[in-house]
Amino acid sequence: MNINPRMLVNSKGKLLHDVFVPLPLQEIEKKIVFDIDVLTLLMEANEAITRLHNAYQGTDPYLREYFHDYCLKKETLASLLISGNNLTLENFYTADLGSAADVGYRFYQVAKAAAEETGKLNNDFLKNLHRRIVNDKNARPGHYRIGRMMIYTYYRHNRYNPPFDEELESSMNALEEYINRTANTNYLIKAALVHYQLTTIHPFHDGNDRLARLFNMLYLKRSNPCGPHCFYMSNYFAANLSEYYDALTAVRSHGHFQGWVEYYLKAITATSNHMRNIIDFSLTLLKRNHRRILETPHSNTIKNNLISALEYMVFNPVTTVNRLSEIQNKSFPAAARNAKLLAEMGILETAGFCARSRLYVYREQLDILRD
């Protein structure tokens, strides 16, 4: 497939460099023929999503909101790691509790707000998202880039030139039309093509890759018929980074869409399985600690309070006495007593102070979530 039809040559007819001019996905979709391998991977991905949804539905509604929030943290953390930011999951939880917010936590807040929006996924949405992601005024947040660019991929010798600035508007308009059109194409195939196209058009001066990964999560959240799950696919991309860039580069240079779609579907399956395992392992640990609490000589009231505190910490494994007091609607002394009892049982451990309140860590659970 001729996906890179134009080359820039000088007046003597010598090649200067390739210029990527993307075909609209509407045209590409008509020419792609997938073999049995892709259809098998698509079936496996859909089955993995169904199993994830069944596990999700089996959790207490109280936990689902916190699981959703954990997935947002996981996605933004992995995406920023790909971009070179050295952050940990603990950074997000302590920022939640009042510690200084860094670039990672601000990106998470943008992702969280965007995940709650219900407006149309169009170019205005992308520009507004970019405006919130990028703080450098020199990068013209919310505005398409001006001038020519050369993009280096994971391997420095692999480079390509995205569309000239005068072609960005038409390229992005075609992408917007494809995103919002109604067709019979499976939404996972469509998501794979959209992620490739947005990444490769590279419409802004800075923040394009972060934007594309975040938009990928938002698009899947809107499109998934099983429910609004936040697939943290950047976690898989980060763990298989060379394959991620190789698959994208193979499309740009050789039109190898099948290889990219295969990689993307494997990422969906692996992410869905990982999310389901997180739910299963977390509930198993919670049930085990439930039994430990019920076997203590404390009154039923205290036992219920301890269980309530522990349930909150399943997807909030780093917390303070102040936060437990707010969540449980208990006095500070009562919340402090509950946390202390859980620490004495070896379920929680103290970890200094945060925002002038004693910090507690549900270590076994945090290890599950960090996996």
Residue 330's domain spans which residues? 296-370
Residue that is last in its domain, among 272, 306, 329: 272
Q: State pTM to two decimals.
A: 0.92
* CATH, residue 311: 1.10.10.10
pLDDT higher than 50, residue 156: no
Q: Say if residues 109 and 92 touch (Cβ distance below 8 Å).
A: no
Over residues 92-116, the mean pLDDT reads 86
**Cβ atoms of residues 223 and 190 within 8 Å:** yes
The answer to whether the beta carbons of residues 86 and 118 sit under 8 Å apart is no
Q: Give the Cα separation of 348 and 363 in Å (integer).
A: 7
Q: Which residue has the higher pLDDT, 251 or 292?
A: 292
189 CB neighbour count, 10 Å cutoff: 19
286 is a domain residue: no
Other C-beta atoms closer than 10 Å to the C-beta of 164 total 17
Q: Are residues 210 and 75 in the same domain?
A: yes
Q: Does residue 178 lie in a domain region?
A: yes
Provide the CB-side half-sphere exposure for 199 (13 A, CA): 22
How far apart, in whole angstroms, are the C-alpha atoms of residue 108 and residue 103?
9
Q: What are the pLDDT digits (tens) for 347-361?
A: 999 988 776 788 999
Q: Could you tell me if 265 and 325 lie in one domain?
A: no
242 and 160 co-located in one domain? yes
Given pLDDT bands bounded at 50, 70 and 90, which one contains residue 100?
low
Q: What is the pLDDT of residue 34?
A: 84
| Residues 308 and 260 both lie in one domain | no
Residue 192 resides in a domain: yes
Across the chain, mean pLDDT equals: 89
CATH number at residue 193: 1.10.3290.10
pLDDT at 186: 92
CA distance 53 to 67: 12
Same domain as 209, residue 68: yes
Whole-angstrom distance, CA of residue 82 vs CA of residue 70: 19
Whether 83 has a pLDDT exceeding 50, the answer reads: yes
Is there a domain that residue 162 lies in? yes
Phi, psi of 152 (to 5 degrees): -100, 135
Share of the chain above pLDDT 90, in %: 68
Residue 338 lies in a domain: yes
Q: Are residues 303 and 159 part of one domain?
A: no
Residues 226 and 343 in one domain: no
pLDDT of residue 29: 84
* Residues 155 and 258 reside in one and the same domain: yes
Statement to judge: residues 255 and 301 lie in one domain:
no
Task: Look at the chain and report how many structural domains it folds into.
Answer: 2
Please check whether residue 15 lies inside any domain of the structure. no
Domain presence at residue 144: yes
| In contact, 200 and 146? CB cutoff 8 Å | no
The string of pLDDT tens digits covering residues 164-212 is 888 899 999 999 999 998 878 899 999 999 999 999 999 999 999 999 9
Amino acid letter, 313: M
Q: Are residues 225 and 302 in the same domain?
A: no
Q: What is the pLDDT of residues 203-228, one digit of tens each?
A: 999 999 999 999 999 999 999 888 77
Identify the band that residue 5 occupies on the pLDDT scale cut at 50, 70 and 90: very low
For residue 280, pLDDT over 70 is answered with yes
What is residue 361's three-state secondary structure?
strand
pLDDT-derived band at 157, boundaries 50, 70, 90: very low
* Co-location of 267 and 304 in the same domain: no
pLDDT of 319 strictly over 90: yes
* pLDDT tier for residue 16 given thresholds of 50, 70 and 90: low
Distance of CA 137 to the CA centre of its chain: 25
Where residue 10 falls among pLDDT bands split at 50, 70, 90? low
Q: How far apart are CA 215 and CA 196, in angstroms?
A: 11
Residue 176 lies in a domain: yes
Three-class HEC string of 202-268: CCCCCCHHHHHHHHHHHHHHHHCCCCCCCCCCHHHHHHCHHHHHHHHHHHHHHCCHHHHHHHHHHHH
Mean pLDDT to the nearest integer, 76-82:
95
Orientation of helix 187-201 relative to helix 208-223, angle to 10°: 160
Element of type H or E holding 273: helix 257-294
The predicted structure's pLDDT at residue 74: 96
Per-residue pLDDT at 9 exceeds 60:
no
